[in-house]
Amino acid sequence: MTHSTLSENLSPSAKTIRFLQLFARNYRSVELADGEQMSLILS
Amino acid sequence: MDNLIKMSDEQLVRSYMNGDNVAFDVLLNRHQKKLYSYIFFSVRNRDVAEDIFQEAFVKAIMTIRQGKYTEQSKFPAWITRIAHNLIIDFYRQERNQNTISNDETKVDIFNNIQLSEATVEANMVTSQTFNDVKQLMELLPQNQREVVYMRYYQNLSFKEIAEATNVSINTALGRMRYALLNLRRMARDKNVVLTLD
């Protein structure tokens, strides 16, 4: 069994971080006339 | 940027809600390691941890952007709760929970002075002991392991742990007590000294 090293904080990959930064910038939520919300990912 | 770094989590969430994307970057940077470590420690697989971490933040982004972020509790507790729910989903899907849970056990261990939180906590925070404890923690059932992790590594209160894991404070406390009981038993079995007295 391999033990995780809790004292060293592990990090997610740079690819995941980059994806989240892009997603955070491009995600939009629009409220439609009937009150429903529509999600958009801008490119 | 300097201003953002000095902001509280709640201020950063509000700034991001108002369109400041860099505020999100700061928030992500501030919490990524602790959250990822918590997830990785729970699922013990890098790929799964990566997926859950990403999904937790995607959910957080969507909630904030939709103006639905109304949390009274702190951001770390909120994002940890999202991650916790995803971890539970993962275990449900995998049906991989083949360890013993003590949640339903009726044995009353709470009157044992040796298990009182103050006694055990005081011993556990010693760094020498911590190294042994973190290895033994791997052997705990998932629901006990995460309570210990949240309490000692994320410094969440029992109220925050209860909220993050969708259980009552008593259940969170009970899981901690069982975790400590198990740690003591495992330490004894493996001849690991948990106290420095």
Q: In this predicted model, what pLDDT tens digit does every residue of B88-133 receive, in sequence order?
A: 989 888 765 455 555 544 444 444 444 445 555 554 545 556 667 7
Length of chain A counted residue by residue: 43
Q: pLDDT tier at B195 (50, 70, 90 boundaries)? A: low
Burial class (CB in 10 A: 0-12, 13-18, 19+), B85: middle
Cα–Cα nearest to B28, from B2, B3, B46, B4 = B4
Q: For an interface test with B, which of A1, A2, A4, A8 has the most B Cβ atoms less than 10 Å from its Cβ?
A: A4
Q: For an interface test with A, which of B53, B124, B126, B192 has the most A Cβ atoms less than 10 Å from its Cβ?
A: B53
User: What CA–CA distances, in Å, run from B45 to B27, B86, B93, B153?
Assistant: 24, 14, 15, 19
pLDDT > 90 fraction of chain B, expressed in percent and rounded: 38
Q: How far is A36 from chain B, CA to nearest CA, in Å?
A: 11
Q: In this predicted structure, what is the pLDDT of residue B194?
A: 62
| Average pLDDT over chain B, rounded to an integer | 81
Tell me, yes or no, if the pTM score tops 0.90.
no
Q: pLDDT tier at A5 (50, 70, 90 boundaries)? A: very low
Query: Are A13 and B50 a contacting pair, CB within 8 Å?
Result: yes
Q: pLDDT tier at B189 (50, 70, 90 boundaries)? A: confident
Q: Does B99 touch chain A (CB under 8 A)?
A: no
A34 or B182, which is more confident: B182
How far is B177 from B108, CA to CA, in rounded Å? 11
C-alpha angle with apex B16: B15 to B21, nearest 5 degrees?
115
Tell me: the pLDDT tens digits for A9-18?
A: 689 999 999 9
How far is A11 from B80, CA to CA, in rounded Å? 15
DSSP B105-132: -----TT-GGG-HHHHHHHHTSHHHHHH
Q: pLDDT tier at B70 (50, 70, 90 boundaries)? A: confident
How far is B53 from B48, CA to CA, in rounded Å? 8
Q: In this predicted structure, what is the pLDDT of residue B193?
A: 65
A33 has a pLDDT exceeding 60:
yes
How far is B56 from B46, CA to CA, in rounded Å? 15
